[in-house]
Amino acid sequence: MTPRIREILSWYGADNPGVLTNLARMLNHGRLGGTGKMVILPVDQGFEHGPARSFAINPNAYDPLYHFGLAVESGCNAYAAPLGFLEAGAREFAGEIPLILKVNNSDSLYSDKGGPISAMTSSVDDALRLGCAAIGFTIYPGSRERKQMYEEIQMAASAAKEAGLAVVIWSYPRGEGISKQGETAIDVVAYAAQVAAQLGAHIIKVKPPTEHIEQAEAKKVFDAQGIKVAKLEDRTRHVIESSFNGKRIVIFSGGAAKGTEEVLAEVKSLAQGGSFGSIMGRNAFQRPKEEAIQLLHSVMDIYQG
């Protein structure tokens, strides 16, 4: 246990030894173990976007075991997926990598732009049965269905913590009151991170924020207080600050598929802004395995400094 991991665990004083042990499992695993930084492989895209859109570019990725292997061989801190993918490989890869069960999911066959909401697709009991270290849950701040989502994560997080599991919240603002550009606006992303922290997340996943400021009232404060937004490094720093002044683990999604240089340039800015790490799916598993491992290693090297 390194001093940095002890420091991070000290931020979660309300949690029982089981939760702290599972946080430590993830923070101490893989190539970044002990640094306080994380790179997680998430593969929920098959459920969220469909198999062809997710896996056809690299047909090996249709196989759930491929993703377990990629996460293990690349030295990720953890692997996150919905119930079916984890059930397919949890026995064969038991003990080889910490697992995060994504307990709610949605599909792209139906879209409600004003009220996006994910369905509960698995449970804390499933996470315990599969040997997971944490549960994952998506919220959409700004959705008209946010009341139901907030109540669902309250119940799921309470059960998870009682069982000794950590809680990871994907916080993606969406809804009729937020423009498409506003979904990644700096004020909105920072707000989404704050909401996830207030809902009891141990680890918060948000998208890299853009320079755009969506809310007129927020813009007044950003201008008056001189909050810097021109560089991704500065915007990242504000999101971290908005997450209990950096006392919650905040990691950033890799987003849509992009070129290697673009991925690494973005990660460098995130790291300079104090990001705790990246959670990178399509930009990894849609590449040939060796190329994906090389990319993930390069990302890890950036976070190691």
pLDDT for 158 equals 98
pLDDT for 90 equals 98
Residue 87, Cβ density class (10 Å: 0-12 exposed, 13-18 middle, ≥19 buried)? middle
pLDDT for 96 equals 98
Estimate to the nearest angstrom the gap between the alpha carbon of 144 and the chain centroid: 23
pLDDT for 151 equals 98
Q: Read off the DSSP letter of residue 22.
A: H
pLDDT for 255 equals 78
Residue 258 pLDDT exceeds 90: no
Ordered by start, the domain boundaries in the chain are: 3-47+64-304
pLDDT for 257 equals 78
pLDDT for 107 equals 96
∠ CA 169-174-178, nearest 5°, is 140
Residue-wise pLDDT for 190-237, tens only, equals 999 999 999 999 999 999 999 999 999 999 999 999 999 999 999 999
pLDDT for 221 equals 98
> Catalytic annotation on 205?
yes
Residue-wise pLDDT for 42-88, tens only, equals 999 999 999 999 999 999 999 999 999 999 999 999 999 999 999 99
pTM (predicted TM-score)? 0.97
Q: What whole-number distance in Å separates Cα of residue 161 and Cα of residue 158?
A: 5
Q: What whole-number distance in Å separates Cα of residue 146 and Cα of residue 165?
A: 24
Residues 6+ apart with CB under 8 A from 143: 114, 115, 116, 117, 149, 174, 175
Active-site residue, selected from the candidate residues 37, 161, 205, 207:
205
pLDDT for 256 equals 77
Mean pLDDT score across all residues of the chain:
97
273: number of Cβ within 10 Å: 21
pLDDT for 212 equals 98
Residue-wise pLDDT for 172-182, tens only, equals 999 999 999 99
Residue-wise pLDDT for 110-128, tens only, equals 999 899 999 999 999 999 9
Q: Please tell me the total number of residues recorded for the chain in this structure.
A: 305
Supply the DSSP string of 210-267, one letter for each residue.
BS----HHHHHHHHHHT---SSHHHHHHHHHHHTTTTTSEEEEE--S---HHHHHHHH
Homologous superfamily of domain range 3-47+64-304? Aldolase class I (3.20.20.70)
The tokens describing 43, both together, are: 């593969």
